[in-house]
Every structure is written in structure tokens, then in C-alpha cells.
Copies of this chain bind each other. A is one copy, B any other.
């Protein structure tokens, strides 16, 4: 969830509510559950058996349900954690690489993130209110992150200036989703192509056809 407020059923909630730090083992297990869920979701989708996640984390199912009373709580927590990691990668890449290169690398990072989300898209649009806030979080975190990279690259004259962050994010998501096991590297190449398109006509915005 957003940084300022956690929701019931999430451990951070209780901690913020009562000002009492969670017990050490509880913190450890929470992290283990998120790690395990990330791996299992990627391998088997968001409908993977709860027991499998608990087993991979080395805890009992009771512990899992203590931390995440509803399945959506776990899915949301994993999702947000990954969105955050992806968003945070933007300034890190910007600090290490030239603007254009940072942008290209971040787009690959983002597409790879999307590729692991097969099955989640369906859940997101399933009408389940538990998931309704996730798309907003997604937008709120990633659009500014990308915009920073874009602006820097534009300022450096490395890319054209006539593309918006949100449309680029959406386009890359479409490309990232079509990752297939029978076409390794396809999505990556397409995203790279997209970024090369930005480079074409750099510093002198080509009028749209």
C-alpha cells in the first residue's frame, strides 16, 4: 500500500497502530513469506496453493494467515514490494549511467517486472475490490519514476521530447506481457526497439505524421 497508510490484515498496520515493534521472529517470517510468495507467484501464478508458499517460507499456514488474513493481502503486499523496487531502481540507474542508457535499462527492468505478472492482470480486473487500489499504486509510483528518467534524457538531448511517461509505460507493459517461452528475448528486443525509437530524432522533436 502507499507508504503513509497500511491496511488491516497487514502486519505493518498493527505496528503503526500501537507503536509497538513486531517481534523479531514475526518480522523474519514476514520477510520469508514475501520472498516465498514472490517466487511461487512467478512460477505458478497468483492462484498457487497457500500451503506451497508457507512451506517454501518454512512456516505453517497459520502463520501465513496471521500475517495475511486474505489472499489479496499477500498478493497486494508482494505486488507493492515489487513496484517499489522497480520505482526505486530509477534513481539508482540515473546515478550510475548516462540519461539515455539509464532510461533504456530501466525500461528493460520494468518489462521484466511486467513479465512476471501473468495471471495478476486477470485478478486486477476481476472486480474484486481487494485489488482495486493496486492499479492506482502502480501508476502513482511508476509514472513519476519514468518521468524523471525521460526528462533527464530529454534535457541531455538524447531522446525526442514528444512522448509522455504514461503512454510509454503502457506500451512497454503490452510488450512485456507477450513474453513467451518459445521466443526468448523477444519482449526485450521489442522494448529496446521502442527506446531506440525515442532516440530517433533526438533533440529535435519530429512532428507526428
Residues of A within 8 A of B (CB): 118-119, 121-123, 125-127
Contacts and interface: CB of A to CB of B under 8 A. Distances in A.
9 contacts: A118-B127, A119-B126, A119-B127, A121-B122, A121-B125, A122-B122, A122-B123, A122-B125, A122-B126
A119 B122 CA distance: 8
Contacts of A119: 126-127
A118 B122 CA distance: 11
A122 B121 CA distance: 8
Interface of A (DSSP majority class): loop
Instruction: Please list the 9 inter-chain residue pairs (A to B) with the smallest Cβ-Cβ separation, ordered nearest first.
Output: A122-B122, A122-B126, A118-B127, A119-B126, A122-B125, A121-B125, A122-B123, A121-B122, A119-B127
Nearest to A118: B127
A48 B171 CA distance: 34
A206 B50 CA distance: 57
Nearest to A119: B126
A195 to B, nearest CB: 26
Given A121-B125, A122-B123, A122-B125, 6 more contacts: A118-B127, A119-B126, A119-B127, A121-B122, A122-B122, A122-B126
A197 B127 CA distance: 30
A143 to B, nearest CB: 23
A99 B125 CA distance: 36
Contacts of A122: 121-123, 125-126
Contacts of A121: 122, 125
A124 to B, nearest CB: 9
A75 to B, nearest CB: 15
A121 B124 CA distance: 12
A125 B123 CA distance: 12
A119 B127 CA distance: 9
